[in-house]
Amino acid sequence: MERKAVRAKLWTAREQADFGQKLSACRRAVLFLDYDGTLAPIVPDRDNARPYPGVRDALERLLEIKRCRLVLVSGRRVTEIQPLLQSRLPFEAWGSHGGEHLRVTGQLEMASIPETAHEGLRIAVERALHLLNEQAIERKPNSVAAHVSGVNAELAPQYLIELEELWEPIAEEFDLELLDFHQGLEMRVPGITKSEAVSSVLSEEPQDAVVAYLGDDITDEDAFSTLRDFGETILIGSEERPTSAKWLLKKEPEGRHIINFLHSAASALNR
Ligand SMILES: [Mg+2]
């Protein structure tokens, strides 16, 4: 993954206003949104990662706008998103870092995975269960994620080291890749990333579509690199880190940063 160690510039009210002007003038807008850490706070119990208050209303406003394509892009299974989001309107989502695509029509498409990769992921689960319990293991079509958020915080780093030692030989043998994430480790089939998801979406859209992507994860960097020359790439964060995103949108309490962004985009598109 190419990652430029550059400083993202702060996304301020001025950038928001300029973006609003582009949105009001455009014939088509595409907004990509990561879920955890972007629309919802990162919480220890991932089954309870509810969106920030007000996010659902703001998303539903955007979902009603015909010239806007709203796309959720998450590392989660797509089936996990709606129980948390509870949107009254159907939405499009890419799950498992681009391995699953739920269209707004409800049609679900899955990336095809080589048989050997299935075998590697199966063995990875088996080995991880020597170390962690069933609830800590998340099986996805193209990956396995092991979460240490339920482990004693002092011991969690040691668990991650041991897990990496268990998984490295499997990844090598079955041509899979390891990926660190916040409080966990994931083994996944290479070549299925959020970047492929955004490229696939944009291939269905006019070239002059106004595009923005908001995310906070290392896995969002794939999409930032791909989109950097095509739209606004916005890292959600409280601190700077090396990123391919052009902008940094600072986290505010109760998700005010993201709610403002979404409402302001909806108002511009409704103009
Ligand atoms: Mg995230």
For residue range 207-219, list pLDDT tens digits in order: 999 999 999 999 9
Question: Any idea which fold 115-188 has?
Answer: 3.30.1240
Q: Is 233 left (phi over 0), alpha (psi -120 to 50) or beta?
A: beta
Question: Any idea which fold 9-111+193-270 has?
Answer: Rossmann fold (3.40.50)
The model's pTM is: 0.92
Work out the pLDDT band at 44, boundaries 50, 70, 90. confident
* Whether residue 127 has pLDDT greater than 60: yes
What's the CA-to-centroid distance between 217 and ligand 1, angstroms? Answer: 5
Whole-number percent of the chain with pLDDT over 90:
89
What's the CA-to-centroid distance between 209 and ligand 1, angstroms? Answer: 24
What's the CA-to-centroid distance between 187 and ligand 1, angstroms? Answer: 17
What's the CA-to-centroid distance between 94 and ligand 1, angstroms? Answer: 13
* Whether residue 5 has pLDDT greater than 60: no
Closest listed residue to residue 94, CA positions, set 61, 137, 142, 55: 142
Which residues are in the CB-under-5-Å shell of ion ligand 1? Answer: 34, 36-37, 216-217
What's the CA-to-centroid distance between 181 and ligand 1, angstroms? Answer: 9
- Segments making up each domain of the chain, as ranges: 9-111+193-270, 115-188
Mean pLDDT estimate for the chain: 94
Buried b (16+ CB within 10 A) or exposed e, 246-255: bbbbebeeeb
What's the CA-to-centroid distance between 271 and ligand 1, angstroms? Answer: 30
Q: What is the per-residue pLDDT for 181?
A: 87
Indicate if 115-188 has the same CATH topology as 9-111+193-270: no
Work out the pLDDT band at 4, boundaries 50, 70, 90. low
